[in-house]
Chains A and B, each alone.
Chain A
């Protein structure tokens, strides 16, 4: 579990991508996601993945991404197999495309979260007009995701050490045993949220309506460039897909795949 969550955890590094304004990185995320959803063949999606890998390389975060692939692999295989089994025709072609699409989407999000801190994100949200309470709520959730993962592990450890069998046994039995984790986890997180709320109150959160944020976000030339390029690229992809040209391309690719 922590392996998978690892791709969404910020790592402090000094790279051009980390240094971009969060809004620029967000534009990049939107463009990459739009492309992932618009494209539907394994060849274009592989090309997209290569572009994303290049971005990860710029962010010097390839290793974190690669490490989490092992955790994601089970999901990827699941998607591939489900598609393969349930489609009437072109199974291999579509299944491969779906699995790749999933990978492209998660990688796009991973690029964003690996290079953006929770409060950069909050600053971006606030600069875009989101009220402080909501942006705080968002960043708090992100900030506590690793804590939640750790608490889940601790609760599982505590119950296992009281004899609860979570490692062996039939699927149904194990699922039922896992439900025992819910109550202590929920109670613990509720308690934690009260403590966090107390601390926020104690530091005057909500004292005034409009707050002048400590971090002043300003879009520099390179941020604007990234935003414009992302927007243009996304539009280009969507335009190509919507046009007839993509249809013919799809047929050609499909023909290359064994008829399954």
Chain B
């Protein structure tokens, strides 16, 4: 399946206004870059920070673009590449590993027809292998846009989850 391509993202008046609201909610405080970037990322359907928007934030907050780029590439929760409407984050840590997360990986790959870090053709789903997000008592677990789906220990449970999102 296609891997999402990085394209020049067109910044619209509407989106710029939304970003300005995010900036205002953070008081245009330069120290709150991380929070700003997380909130702006949620405004973008593919859950990433397009380059154009990074420059926009840099100008509005009066911070160096190199600092913004550093933050985007340093923090795992921020992405410079388009992801998907529903990034499916599968825990790869040892606790989920000993609770058969391999089955989750293979089931999702099979059902969606994509590999890790690939995106479905409609941009709806991508698979990401992520470290522990603290749901170890519900291992093996998956996190999608902040919601945790635990004890995914059967094919049926995973199918049901995908159907809910479709």
Asked if A and B bind, the verdict is no
